Structure 1
């Protein structure tokens, strides 16, 4: 496997490696509480769902709490959790599997995916699950690629260095024993590269449907590769994933359902810098104003599903108090 980084990916990798060098790999990253109401909200790339959803949530949180919230583009889940650890962000979007790795000391921030560099994020508090995220494996119709096996020898965008997509991409490609050249870049850039013929396939984990893929399909004939049901179940059993079906009506170009893997997108907050009271208010603002969210993924936000994917990730004390006061059973 050969890896080529984009400038964005290389920058994210450098930041994460610098984070490791600061001595936080031993789990001592959490410090004394220094609460603030001036919040930076780390989201994701502009081509995915995290960024627009983060923008709408920021507006809601600003109008419903005493906090000011600045949402920013980022490299994705790993990058976001690193920012929480370092105090560069106080709110973040993340995949639940990546957050689980972070709190268990298994968050791998190595640049090449081989020379392992692990950190522990010990100042992380779960606010709520937001929606399921599905792996999309996109190819062009004229590529001749019709199955996962056909990806052998191809150049594939496997997610940004600071995203949670990379782990799932690796799990799928390793399961099928695919030899490939990896392009590490964010989702929006990868769709442009696919349309321009710079790569052969793009893999990304995002809520269904995602506008950027719909827009790509308006100018480029594309298709989604499907996993065998048995393979999806086997890969899911070995990781923090679930087998998932992208329904045929999710995108206009689909003619049949697509079997893939999914994780959950979650909202998390720093326990060092976001007080219990503010986290309580943010949780209340989220569930009291779901009807104000216009992006498609907002339809999946449900208080009854707030703990999907939680596992052993700690709840933020403020979120826990909110759920208990609203008679939602806390795991």
Structure 2
């Protein structure tokens, strides 16, 4: 055998070994996957469905987003293995870990792991401009308020927030697109949104009619922050055509989640893809500009999946020991 032949043979053998290893690494990967999102018309649906398509396309798998009731249900679905991935907020996540989820009281959800930060969810209020409602204190007693899908983050926290602020209301549930239509038709008075901005349903309403986006006063903001797991937030004026200046609000962080029993190599590749391609993530929804490793610190509740931990540590990000499995 000549030197040239040996070199070619050695190169081919190495290539085959690498290819074989790559194939072996995928041996325990799922053939397909589902991402639990929320109702159509909300940011979760747009973000989650787009992210699912990105994973599927880049990793050569079959996968997609699924309409769900939102963060609470996504936690339960991931915990039970009904979906591989989901989107949630830190408030419902803390309740789920403690066994205090409204969907499964007394059942600690210990098969839910964090992947990466998404964005902050502002709690914002929208009414028709001709309603005369320009502040929270303007909301009349008995007003019908849409809080999103039942057991969603919005439905879990916003009613209690408004009760804390002295608002008396008739509670309504539904998907964001449906509630937007009801508001426009005069069937409800207000929508209390908890969703990443810009909220598609609000953007659509702005095109079709005049709306008021109602901000919290400083006192209202401070009172809500004392009572609930939220932080101060300002909705930038550039978010909606209706806004002439930044609007004061409160917010809660969102994270993607995965079943803790998913294969480590699979989750490593999903995390790598998501964290190393923020331009593609922003193409899905502009709120993904905050979907960066620097925001890992906002999860203090869920353990990170071992596959995610491996990517973060390889890239110089520290995961607290109490958030590792």
**Is the TM value for this pair above 0.5?**
yes
CA distance in 1, matches of 2:107, 2:184: 36
Hey, what does 2:116 align to over in structure 1?
128
Q: How does 1:308-319 map to 2 (within 5 A)?
A: 308=298, 310-319=299-308
Per-residue deviation, 1:37: 4.2
Which ranges of structure 2 fall in alignment gaps of 5 or more residues? 1-27, 321-325
Q: Which residue of 1 aligns with 2:77?
A: 83
The answer as to 2:204 corresponding to 1:215 is: yes
| 2:86 aligns with one of 77, 81, 92 | 92
Residue of structure 2 equivalent to 1:50:
44
What is residue 251 of structure 2 aligned with on the other side? 262
Instruction: Kindly indicate whether structure 1 or structure 2 has the higher relative contact order, using CA contacts under 8 Å at least 6 residues apart.
Output: 1
Q: Alpha-carbon deviation of 1:36?
A: 3.2
Aligned to 2:131: 143
Superposition deviation, residue 125 in structure 1: 0.3
The whole-number CA distance in structure 1 between the counterparts of 2:99 and 2:149 is 21
**Aligned counterparts of 1:253 and 1:156: Cα–Cα separation in 2:** 20
* Contact 1:55/1:71, CA 8 A, preserved across alignment: yes
Provide, for residues 81-100 of structure 1, a one-character-per-residue CA deviation record: whole Å limited to 9, x for no partner.
12112221110011121112
Cα offsets for 1:85-129 (capped at 9, x unmatched)? 22211100111211121112121238xxxxxx4542110000011
Deviation for aligned residue 1:224: 1.3
CA distance, structure 2, for counterparts of residue 226 and residue 242 of structure 1: 14
Structure 1 position 224 matched with structure 2 position 218: no
TM-score with structure 2 length normalisation?
0.84
Q: Distance in 2 between matches of 1:292 and 1:188?
A: 26
SS in 2 for 1:108: coil
Match of 1:302 in 2: 292
CA apart distance, 1:326: 0.8
SS of residue matched to 1:174: helix
**Superimposed CA distance per residue, residues 298-320 of structure 1 (whole angstroms, 9 cap, x where no aligned partner):** 22221211332x11211111111
Moved more, 56-65 or 134-143: 56-65
1:99-178 correspondence runs (5 A): 99-109=93-103, 117-151=105-139, 152-178=141-167
**Structure 2 vs 1, CA of residues 171 and 300 (structure 1 numbering), >3 Å: closer, same or farther?**
same
The superposition leaves residues 179-211 of structure 1 with CA deviations (integer Å, 9 ceiling, x where unpaired) of: 111001122211111001010000111112223
**In 1, Cα distance between equivalents of 2:31 and 2:266:** 8
Distance 2:216 2:106 in 1: 30
Partner of 1:253: 242
What is the aligned length? Answer: 290
Distance (whole Å) between structure 2 residues aligned to residue 161 and residue 118 of structure 1 = 19
2:254, 2:130 → 1: CA distance? 32
**Matched residues in 2 for 1:210 and 1:157: separation?**
15
Instruction: Report if aligned partners of 2:100, 2:106 keep a CA contact under 8 Å in 1.
Output: yes
Once the two structures are overlaid, the 10-residue window that deviates more, 179-188 or 56-65, is 56-65
* Higher helix fraction (1 or 2): 2
8 Å contact kept, 1:139–1:224: yes
TM-score by length of 1: 0.83
Deviation, structure 1 residue 66: 5.6
Task: Flag structure 1 segments of 5+ consecutive residues without an equivalent.
Answer: 1-33, 111-116
